[in-house]
């Protein structure tokens, strides 16, 4: 869950109780980053849906809220947010602002195993082909389409988080040694990653178009910008990618099977796909992917190798490669002959 920015971001009818609750938590030496962030999002949800009284906080309201949260984030994050809300409303009961905790009606949610969506190599090619084709098909949106193509290509080719890609500035692209500086990301870590080949050409082409439109790129300028020369918001890129998926004929949706959630395709799936395709390529080259996990973890900015190892365990294509190699190592006839020779020697 993201960190809470300590600004006056609360606007709903619960704004004052939320501030008081966070002040109490702070005084008790609680780390309020996740609590504050969750309550800030809930406060925004109340404003968007024009909820202005406790009477409107019904079971139906909370079920709708859970459904929307579940479509945008992981099950574990949803459970965390529910726990935070229950604690907040318990506080309101204790201070006698309300008589009963409205979240008591929220059903217990079991933690599910989540398997992220991974594009096949053919799907990646189709997505990027469609995105590239749209650059020339629409003269009115030429610059925007060029930016979108470069953004999606960069996310996949470098395995970036969408926020990392959109935060790239002119000084972060080092053309002399073909490296990209990713600064202060999800876990406060920075890293330098190389880029080359086709991606280098895509970035150079976009930079040329960008400088023709807005002038020379300075070190402090955002590299990826809208047609108005403003920084892209992740929501607009997210929506644009979903539209691109439809045009590419990729229509899979999130699925539930038992206690397993199979994620649907999103722009973040490009990052997952980069990781799996890199591991598959090593395996196909005869390299044990386990020996390369530390390199991939560093490249992707993972805080813990367990996150990187997750790709080995959960992705079907990689498991199939492992099974095929295992089967070749135990060729049926040679194994039987070896067994027969062993028995004859007894």
CA gap 262, 253 in Å, rounded: 8
pLDDT band at 346 (very low <50, low <70, confident <90, very high): very low
3-state secondary structure 294-339: HHHHHHHCCCCHHHHHHHHHHCHHHHHHHHHHHHHHCCHHHHHHHH
Which residue matches tokens 């003269």? 139
One domain, residues 242 and 182:
yes
Domain span at residue 82?
15-111
Angle at 152 between CA 151 and CA 158, to 5 degrees: 90
Judged by average pLDDT, the poorest of 69-83, 158-172, 188-202, 237-251 is 69-83
pLDDT value, residue 187: 65
Judge whether residue 335 has pLDDT over 50: no
Give residue for tokens 């996150």.
307
Q: Do the domain assignments include residue 5?
A: no
Q: Is the pLDDT of residue 65 over 70?
A: yes
- Give the max Cα distance, the chain: 86
* Percent of the chain whose pLDDT exceeds 90: 49
> In this structure, are 129 and 223 located in the same domain?
yes
One domain, residues 100 and 149: no
Q: Is the pTM of this model over 0.75?
A: no
Q: What is the pLDDT of residue 246?
A: 95
Position with higher pLDDT, 314 vs 40 = 40
Share of the chain above pLDDT 70, in %: 84
Are 241 and 134 found together in one domain? yes
CA-nearest of 200, 186, 198, 184 to 271 is 186
Least confident of 25-29, 48-52, 238-242: 25-29
Instruction: Tell whether 95 and 188 lie within a shared domain.
Output: no
Neighbours of 257 (CB within 10 A): 10
Residue at 149 is within a domain: yes
pLDDT higher than threshold 60 for residue 341: no
- For residue 134, what is the domain's CATH number? 1.10.443.10
Lowest mean pLDDT among 26-40, 64-78, 133-147, 216-230: 64-78
Query: CA-to-CA distance for 74 and 268, rounded, in angstroms?
Result: 12
Based on the fold, state whether residues 208 and 307 are members of the same structural domain. no
Residue 260 domain-assigned?
A: yes
Q: Which of 30-39, 140-149, 153-162, 231-240 has the lowest mean pLDDT?
A: 30-39
The three-state (H, E, C) secondary structure of 253-300, written as one string: CCEEECCEEECCCCCCHHHHHHHHHHHHHHHHCCCCHHHHHHHHHHHH
Is the sign of the CA dihedral 284, 289, 292, 296 positive or negative?
positive
Q: Same structural domain for residues 33 and 132?
A: no
**Taken in order 219, 221, 227, 233, is the CA torsion positive or negative?**
positive
Specify whether 273 is located in the same domain as 290: yes
Distance from C-alpha of 308 to C-alpha of 303, rounded to nearest angstrom: 9
Q: Which residues of 155-186 are buried (b: 16+ CB within 10 A; e: fewer)?
A: bbbbbbbbebbbbbbeebbeeeeeebebeebe
238 shares a domain with 129: yes
Give the residue from 169, 152, 172, 184 showing the smallest Cα distance to 225.
169
Burial class, 138, CB count within 10 angstroms (exposed 0-12 / middle 13-18 / buried 19+)? exposed
Asked whether the predicted pLDDT for residue 331 surpasses 80, the reply is no
- 9 located within any domain: no
Question: Are 23 and 65 a contacting pair, CB within 8 Å?
Answer: no
Q: Determine what percent of the chain falls in helix, strand and coil, rounding each to the nearest 5.
A: 60, 5, 35
* Position 285 pLDDT exceeds 60: yes
CA distance 181 to 202: 17
The per-residue pLDDT for range 143-170, each reduced to its tens digit, is 999 999 999 999 999 999 999 999 999 9
Residues 26 and 104 in one domain: yes
Structure tokens at 310: 């997750």
Strands 191-194, 260-262: parallel, antiparallel or unpaired by DSSP? unpaired
Any domain includes 322: yes
Return the CA Rg of the chain. 25
Q: What is the DSSP string of 102-123?
A: GGGGSPP-PPPEEE-----HHH
Q: Are 67 and 127 members of one domain?
A: no
In this predicted structure, what is the pLDDT of residue 1? Answer: 46
The CATH number linked to 40 is: 1.10.150.130
CA atoms within 13 A on the CB side of 342: 6
Mean pLDDT over each residue of the chain, to the nearest integer: 84
Exposed/middle/buried for 77, CB within 10 Å: 0-12, 13-18, 19+? middle
- The DSSP H or E segment spanning 191 is strand 191-194
What is the mean predicted confidence (pLDDT) over 247-274?
86
Q: Are residues 296 and 235 in the same domain?
A: no
What are the tens digits of pLDDT across the range 193-220? Answer: 998 889 999 999 999 999 999 999 999 9
The C-alpha atoms of residue 152 and residue 127 are separated, in whole angstroms, by: 9
Does residue 52 belong to any structural domain of this protein? yes
How many folded domains does the chain comprise?
Answer: 3
Considering only 64-73, 206-215, 239-248, 331-340, which range has the smallest mean pLDDT?
331-340
Q: Is the pLDDT at 108 greater than 80, yes or no? A: no
In the three-class reduction of DSSP (H, G, I as helix; E, B as strand; rest coil), residue 60 is classed as helix
pLDDT value for 184: 75
């Amino acid at each position: 869950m993201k960190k809470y920015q300590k600004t006056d971001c609360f606007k709903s009818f619960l704004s004052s109780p939320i501030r008081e609750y966070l002040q109490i938590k702070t005084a008790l030496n609680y780390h309020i980053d996740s609590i504050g962030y969750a309550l800030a999002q809930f406060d925004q949800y109340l404003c968007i849906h024009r909820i202005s009284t406790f009477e409107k906080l019904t079971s139906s309201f909370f079920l709708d809220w859970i459904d929307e949260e579940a479509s945008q984030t992981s099950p574990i994050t949803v459970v965390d947010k529910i726990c935070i809300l229950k604690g907040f409303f318990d506080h309101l009961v204790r201070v006698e602002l309300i008589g009963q905790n409205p979240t008591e009606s929220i059903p217990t949610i079991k933690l599910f195993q989540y398997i992220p969506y991974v594009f096949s190599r053919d799907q990646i090619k189709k997505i990027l082909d469609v995105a590239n084709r749209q650059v020339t098909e629409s003269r009115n949106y030429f610059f925007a389409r060029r930016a979108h193509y470069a953004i999606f290509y960069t996310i996949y080719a470098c395995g970036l988080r969408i926020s990392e890609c959109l935060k790239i500035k002119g000084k972060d692209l080092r053309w002399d040694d073909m490296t990209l500086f990713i600064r202060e990301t999800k876990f406060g870590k920075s890293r330098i990653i190389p880029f080359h080949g086709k991606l280098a050409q895509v970035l150079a082409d976009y930079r040329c178009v960008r400088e023709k439109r807005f002038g020379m790129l300075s070190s402090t300028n955002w590299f990826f910008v809208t047609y108005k020369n403003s920084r892209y918001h992740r929501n607009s890129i997210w929506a644009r990618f979903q539209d691109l998926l439809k045009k590419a004929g990729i229509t899979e949706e999130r699925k539930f099977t038992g206690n397993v959630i199979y994620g649907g395709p999103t722009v973040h799936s490009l990052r997952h796909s980069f990781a799996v395709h890199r591991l598959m390529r090593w395996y196909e080259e005869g390299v044990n992917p386990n020996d390369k996990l530390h390199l991939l973890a560093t490249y992707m900015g993972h805080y813990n190798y367990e996150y990187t190892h997750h790709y080995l365990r959960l992705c079907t294509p990689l498991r199939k490669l492992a099974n095929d190699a295992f089967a070749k190592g135990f060729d049926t006839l040679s194994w039987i002959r070896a067994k027969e020779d062993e028995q004859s020697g007894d």
